[in-house]
Amino acid sequence: MTAPPTLETQAPPPPMDSVGFLRWTWRQLTSMRTALILLFALAVASIPGSILPQRGNNPLLVDEWLEEQPTIGPILDRLGFFDVFGAPWFAAVYLLLFISLIGCVLPRVGVHWRAMRSQPPIAPKNLSRLQAFAETTTALTPTQVVDNANDYLRKNRWRVRTGVTDSQVWVSAEKGYLRETGNLVFHLALVLILAAVAIGGLFGWRGNVIVKEGNGFSNTLTQYDAWGGGRLASADTIPPFAFTLEDFAVEFGRSEAERGSPRLFEATVEVQREPGGPINPDLIEVNHPLTVAGAKIFLVGHGYAPTFIVRDSSGATVLDDAVVFLPQDGNFTSTGVIKVPDSTPQLGFQGIFLPTSAIDDIRGPHSIFPDADDPSVFLSAWEGDLGLDSGIPQSIYTLKTDNMEQIGLRALVPGQTWVFGQGEIEFTGWQRWASFQIAFDPGKEAALAAAVLATLGLTVSLFTRRRRVWVKARVAPNGSTLVESAGLSKSEAGDVSEDVRDLLEASEGIDRR
Amino acid sequence: MTTAESMGLAEASNAAIYATMVTLTIAMILFAASFASGRRPASAKAHVQVASGSGSVAVLDRPESKSANDPGRKLANVAMSLTWLATGLLTVALVLRGIWAGRVPWGNMYEFSISSAWGVLVVFLVMSLRRDLRWLGLFVVAPALLTLGLAVTVLYTEAAQLVPALKSYWLVIHVSAAIICAGAFTVAASSAALSLVQSRRERSGREWHGPMAQVPSAEKLQTFTSRIIAFAFPLWTFSVIAGAIWAENAWGRYWGWDPKETWALITWLVYAAYLHARSTAGWRGDKASWIAILGLVTFLINYFGVNIFVNSLHSYAGL
Ligand code: HEM
């Protein structure tokens, strides 16, 4: 900053006429104190978003919360507390902060531009009153002293101005303009970050999909289990690529200390980057997403899909498929539902899949290791109407048993068949599935570039000291030359005493640098 | 590596931690004794003289040094040496832990805590190379020791390999920056707290006696605090950006308002507010010092609060 630490006193009262009032408001908004308060306000406004569950991250938890808190839940919901970072009041705080920032920084750009092109100010009358001061006498003439000082300062890249006032020759010099440059770059880069985030928010999209081993995925909206996009993203803006999950490898720690913790996830895929294009193998790992047509495919989860064959009472196969079960705990105790609409009557099964089976009185059937060392399923069979024709979309993970009747329960290991009156179900084995998040954010490169720029500007600014120094020389009554040198730090916490000492020595002709 | 060999490494690492704690405890007691005995017969007037600095070059950081054979000073010198020793031992402990686990020793809260204690000590010692910081020793060694104590009693975990989400060199960059920041923010908060005490004392206008007499003036403490924060803030900015890059690689978004990320931003905002306060009339003094303390509080909330109480993507850091 050019100005020394601001000396704002108590704010003057607002003038009454409207132009004056507007100007007053603008000045208040762009003052340092307002910036300070808005920074705090933004920090405080973020807190509820870190304590309450948020729709964007965890919609299920939000629903649970609302169920448990029927009185204040809906009020908080209406006020946007479950979507804090999209709430209008949150936006109001950061938009005000950025308006304040732009209003504050743009004028400073002009001021700084002029300061960089103008000369340092002339030497003050009384140097000994300044922050750091030193004096000496020498046999050199005042002109020699000033020439020495001038050479030294220019060599060390100070901006120098010389002059003569009242028979004293003086040098005035300034250094550290980069401090303000860095500061301005930093603040303006923050605006760029905001813009890049906004672009990503408007044009970006992301979706989640579960793909079983051996199955494919093609990038259209209907294939996603969940998809969300910005206001300007739509079905026809997403690139038409496709991939097949050939194999999904996992490994879990087996030593005592690391039992069950994941060691490796690796999805082998065959990717077709555009319709009709070549199909190439590739690998997707955690931390190693695959980039296709600007979108990134991330591996985010995995689980088991037990395979079943269901036959009706005539022996005809009515279902032969791998069914996605969702993991419920770290050992992949998984639950899922098998729906068989093509049999008469319709059949439905609720199932628990255990990769490594155990059973006890308290927890019932559960898995004790995440890998499939000793798999089994527990099935509960139902017959009746699955309710698929009611027109209300159903989750594939729940069975509506309102119009169904339970037939029985059974545990099966791979290869076993359960024959019941209306047919039979064979548990043939299991596959793995992987879930992918596919994300497209056109603003992220710009956001990164702006963030790097901000950090550079900030670092330059905080590590540069802006300071002024002066040398004055005049002939003393005894004929020798009296040399005075002084300095002033223009930045926080600056110490210019060393600069002053070096300058004085240089003026005497002792150049240590 | 055989199991026996690797158990040996783990035990050696733990032993080095305990040795560190013993050494630090002695250092803390000596620092405390030195602090309590430190009486400088200088009066407030002497300070004014230094500051006006007419005819000579003003000296900034160093408080008037006490005579060399002052017993308090000797104690502090021994304490400084012990702090160096303890930091060396802690470094050994971290390296052994890292070799044992076959990765950087920042995989869980236990390891991050001992690394943070290391960060506090290193920041303090590096700064002490250029200025006399014996007066600060007690207020740096105590939090470091507390952190280590918490780590070994509450947070201890057997070393495990990193879960795949943590395997990234961005982790190394992100966390190493955060560890140095933890150290710097702690030292800054200690000095800010001291400046608050000092400033109250100065306002009371009483004579300069008692332990606080050896501590620099409130204004110098504030300057010291702001220098540390001016160093740590860009580093924290960098650490947050590295974290965002890591998150982008692991989860497909660079910023998702996960509680951990949110609190990192809150910390960042508070320190930005601090830097602004230092340039705002009426805020540069005690108010800025309070903000520096608040900054550390938000950092700790992020570390303990979010890891333990909040359901966050980052909570896998294992208790
Ligand atoms: C997103 C909001 C903002 C953030 C994160 C922020 C952050 C910072 C930081 C970290 C510094 C110190 C680093 C440096 O000197 O380069 C700083 C300095 C400064 N900021 Fe901001 N700022 C923000 C908004 C504003 C606003 C709205 C104003 C205008 C009122 C403003 C005016 C200044 C000024 C004048 C300085 C220089 C202070 C000095 O050199 O002593 N900033 N800001």
Q: What is the pLDDT of residue B46?
A: 35
The C-alpha atoms of residue B268 and residue A135 are separated, in whole angstroms, by 44
**Would you say residue A149 has pLDDT above 70?**
yes
**What is the per-residue pLDDT for B63?**
44
The mean-pLDDT minimum among A145-159, A478-492, B34-48 falls in: B34-48
Instruction: Write out chain A residues lying below 8 Å of B223, CB-based.
Output: 492-493
Long-range own/partner contacts, residues A363-366 (CB < 8 A, 24 or more apart):
A365/A333, A365/A411, A366/A329, A366/A331, A366/A333
Average pLDDT, chain A: 87
pLDDT band at B47 (very low <50, low <70, confident <90, very high): very low
Indicate the domain borders of chain A: 25-114, 120-176+466-507, 205-440
CB of A101 sitting under 6 A from ligand 1: yes
Residue B6 pLDDT grade (very low, low, confident, very high; cuts 50, 70, 90) = low
How far does the CA of residue B82 sit from the closest CA of chain A (Å)?
31
Alpha carbon distance A425, A237 (integer Å): 44
Inspect the interface and report whether the beta carbons of B251 and A437 lie closer than 8 Å. yes
Sequence spans of domains, chain B: 3-40+47-309
A192 band by pLDDT with thresholds 50, 70 and 90: very high
In tens, the pLDDT along A241-257 reads 999 999 999 888 887 76
Give me the residue from A50, A285, A500 closest to B57, CB to CB.
Answer: A500
Tens of pLDDT, residues B215-238: 888 888 999 999 999 999 999 999
Name the percent of chain A lying above pLDDT 90.
41
From the list B164, B234, B237, which residue is nearest A286 (CB)?
Answer: B164
Q: Does A394 touch chain B (CB under 8 A)?
A: no
Rounded mean pLDDT, B69-80:
81
Mean pLDDT (chain B, rounded): 82
pLDDT of residue A3: 38
A339/chain B closest Cα distance in angstroms: 32
Interface of A with B in 269-328 (CB under 8 A): 285-289, 296, 298, 300
pLDDT classification of B100: cutoffs 50, 70, 90: confident
Tell whether the torsion through CA atoms of A156, A157, A158 and A163 is positive or negative.
Answer: positive
Does residue B1 or residue A20 have the better pLDDT?
Answer: A20
Distance in angstroms (rounded) separating the CA atoms of residues A242 and A246: 13
Paired with A348 in beta bridges are A339, A382
Find, among A500, A494, A493, the residue nearest to A471 by Cα. A500
Of B158, B255, B257, the CB nearest to A49: B257
| pLDDT tens-digit series, residues A30-77 | 788 899 999 999 999 999 998 888 887 777 788 888 888 888 889 999
Distance CA A511, CA A84 (A): 61
The pLDDT score that the predictor gives to residue A269 is 94
pLDDT-based confidence at residue B319 (cuts at 50, 70, 90): very low
Q: Which residues of A307-331 are buried (b: 16+ CB within 10 A; e: fewer)?
A: bbebbbeeeeebbeebbbbbbeeeb
Q: What is the pLDDT of residue A167?
A: 79
Q: Does residue A231 surpass a pLDDT of 90?
A: no
pLDDT above 90 (res B108): no
Which residues on adjacent β-strands are paired with residue A459?
none
pLDDT at B160: 60
Report how far residue B195's alpha carbon sits from residue B222's, in angstroms, rounded to the nearest whole number. Answer: 6
Q: In chain B, which residue's Cα lies nearest the Cα of A287?
A: B250
pLDDT of residue B40: 52
User: Residue B52: is its pLDDT beyond 60?
Assistant: no
pLDDT digits (tens, 9 = 90+) for A414-436: 999 999 888 899 999 999 999 99
Q: pTM of this prediction? A: 0.83
What is residue B43's predicted lDDT score, i.e. its pLDDT?
A: 36
Confidence of residue A179 (pLDDT cuts 50, 70, 90): very high
The predicted model gives B295-306 an average pLDDT of 89
pLDDT in the model for residue A210: 92
Per-residue pLDDT reduced to its tens digit, B132-167 = 899 999 999 999 999 999 988 877 776 565 565 566
Residues across chain A? 513
Name the band, by pLDDT with cuts 50, 70 and 90, for residue B207. low
The per-residue pLDDT for B45 is 34
| Homologous superfamily of the A120-176+466-507 domain (CATH) | Kinase associated domain 1, KA1 (3.30.310.80)
The reported pLDDT for the residue numbered A297 is 92
